[in-house]
Structure 1
Amino acid sequence: MALHPAGRPAELAHAAGVDATAEVPAAGAPEASPDPNAVTARSALSTSSSLRLGLGDSTVDLIDSHVVLPDGQVVLAIDAMTRTGGLLVAARGRPGAVRLDVTQLVPVAVRSRVRAKVSMRGIVRRFDPASLDSCDGDTLLSLLDLPPVALWAVEPADVRVTRDDSEATTSITAYRAARPDPLAATEAVHLQHLSRHHRDVLDRLATLVDPALTAASTRVVPVAVDTAGVVLRAEALGGYVDVRLAFARPITGSAGLPEGLRTLLAEAAGRRPSRATVDVGRPPAAPCDLPATACGLPIV
């Protein structure tokens, strides 16, 4: 029997154009950071609601059926009485017999949304309830939300991250040591909030982008925000360019985002506005109806 954390038993049986990410560095030397590919892998696996499971020549897409443990193992909830469950039984303990694939997407409506593809090969075993001792509260709650079927743990043996057709292998040590980016789980909310309610902030941030890019663009839209900075995309008819605006110092979570943006806005205050920072035909920004303390973005 494989025990579900809830106490329920289960039987075992780019776009046509440029995608060059330029960076506008902040003053001061950056602090040492984990392997970025390892962070990408952990972020993508932890925040994605789906993944593709490969077992030999068979593949299946799992929806809301996986959780990543603090040590990097991936827990899968799969009914052992299905064909996929039977294949997992046959694959137990075999190195590299299981493959997990996740695609990390830009969480806003733009062209060329694929950021990275993460592929993990590993060894699958029955989930060991002793692993619960090392889990934090959020991970335990996520495990409880899994379907009440057999749980399997995939031990990573090989992790690869592909960006722009360039593949990099991440060491298992780096993968285990990394954690998801502090803003990974809430990034979509922050980007959508910024776009809908804080166009004034966007317009001022756009002045930090090369005026030659914004002058030739049809719109400038935020496509990423993480512990290190915010990424604006200057879209044109023939392609786009992503520009990273680095925070003065890495932030450790959503609570630090307003201060990170304030440092960028202070830098933008001394610059002359570029010629094209307003989206073509965009509707007026909706007023933010959240209290200032809950809005999460500075009012400028």
Structure 2
Amino acid sequence: MGDDSHSWTAEPGAAERARSVLAVAWSCAVTAQSAREELVGAHTVTDDGRVLLDVPEDSALLATAICAPRGEPSAVLEFADVAPVPVRQRVRARLWLAGWLAPEGGRLSFRATRVVLRQPSAAVVVDLDDFAAARPDPLAAAEARLLTHLADCHADAVERLTRLVGPDSLHGAVRIQPLAVDRHGLTLRIERARAHGDVRLPFHAPADTVAQLTERMHVLLGQASAASCPRALQRQRADRDR
């Protein structure tokens, strides 16, 4: 469905995806030497990708950073990207940052020396310069609201979009939910009785705002309306109506 003449890609790159996970994750696990803590709503991210952690004064992490015998202690930060819509295996990606902690103005500052993004397809080591220069997907902050609205209020539109999915991918489907959306496209999760798969529907052009996303979705729905209903779904409807 994509056009090779476009200068954009049909899905976000690893660095952009990593920065998006980092930007919207609400919690993270931090391990530094023998200390490990789960932090909730305690991190912010600078433009260059440094992570600033707000920790309690009695935090073992803070004590570790202050008392490290050779200066900055090594640490690992772990983040999970969880689908906002209830689906099987809701964790869409995991992000690991290895690097160094240092006290900074009553907080901990973390500088990554290694970034690893694991998605269902594979784990990727993200280039540090790319990571520092990347920005989160412009729709990342609105994604949860957009997907839950689509799933809860527009199930008919989700079903119509399946007309753009190949019949092999729909074979045995028992439920289809919107899994992810970014500036490049929409991903559907197709669940079967004992398995599942994901199908991506790329936009004809990237969407940098919610208004642009609305237009891109209307284009996809228009394409879907012009397509025939997949036979797999026709059989499901027939079985359901019996």
TM-score band (shorter)?
0.7 to 0.9
* Matched-pair contact (CA < 8 Å) for 2:72–2:102: no
Compute the TM-score of the two structures, normalised by the length of structure 1.
0.72
Q: Name the % identity.
A: 29
| Number of residue pairs the alignment of both structures matches | 235
Which residue in the other structure is 1:31 paired with? 7
Match of 1:250, as an amino acid?
Answer: P
Structure 2 Cα separation of the partners of residues 207 and 165 of structure 1: 25
* Matched-pair contact (CA < 8 Å) for 2:12–2:184: no
Q: 1:234 to 1:279 in 2, by over 3 A?
A: farther
Matching of residue 217 in structure 1 with residue 217 in structure 2: no
* Residue correspondence of structure 1 range 77-96 to structure 2 within 5 A: 77-91=54-68, 94=71
* Matched-pair contact (CA < 8 Å) for 2:43–2:51: yes
* Matched-pair contact (CA < 8 Å) for 1:219–1:279: no
| SS of residue matched to 1:70 | coil
| SS of residue matched to 2:161 | helix
Structure 2 Cα separation of the partners of residues 215 and 164 of structure 1: 21
* Alignment partner of 2:110 out of 116, 129, 154: 154
Q: Larger % of strand: which?
A: 2
Match of 2:17, as an amino acid?
Answer: T
Residue 235 (structure 1) shift: 0.9
Which residue in the other structure is 2:159 paired with? 203
Structure 2 Cα separation of the partners of residues 187 and 92 of structure 1: 43
Residue 203 (structure 1) shift: 1.9
Which residue in the other structure is 1:254 paired with? 210
Q: 1:94 to 1:245 in 2, by over 3 A?
A: farther
Residue 43 (structure 1) shift: 1.0
| SS of residue matched to 1:194 | helix
Q: Larger % of helix: which?
A: 2
Matching of residue 245 in structure 1 with residue 201 in structure 2: yes
Structure 1 Cα separation of the partners of residues 41 and 120 of structure 2: 27
Matching of residue 166 in structure 1 with residue 143 in structure 2: no
Which residue in the other structure is 2:25 paired with? 48
Q: 1:270 to 1:182 in 2, by over 3 A?
A: same
Residue 96 (structure 1) shift: 6.7
> What runs of 5+ residues in structure 1 fail to find an aligned partner?
1-24, 129-149, 281-300
* Matched-pair contact (CA < 8 Å) for 2:30–2:36: yes
Compute the TM-score of the two structures, normalised by the length of structure 2.
0.88
Structure 2 Cα separation of the partners of residues 230 and 271 of structure 1: 18
Which residue in the other structure is 1:293 paired with? none
Residue 151 (structure 1) shift: 1.2
| SS of residue matched to 1:108 | coil
Structure 2 Cα separation of the partners of residues 157 and 93 of structure 1: 17
* Matched-pair contact (CA < 8 Å) for 2:77–2:98: yes
Match of 2:185, as an amino acid?
Answer: G
> What runs of 5+ residues in structure 2 fail to find an aligned partner?
238-242
Residue 85 (structure 1) shift: 1.5
Match of 1:246, as an amino acid?
Answer: P
* Matched-pair contact (CA < 8 Å) for 2:167–2:230: yes
Matching of residue 63 in structure 1 with residue 19 in structure 2: no
* Matched-pair contact (CA < 8 Å) for 1:35–1:178: no
Residue 125 (structure 1) shift: 2.2
* Matched-pair contact (CA < 8 Å) for 2:85–2:151: no
Which residue in the other structure is 1:292 paired with? none
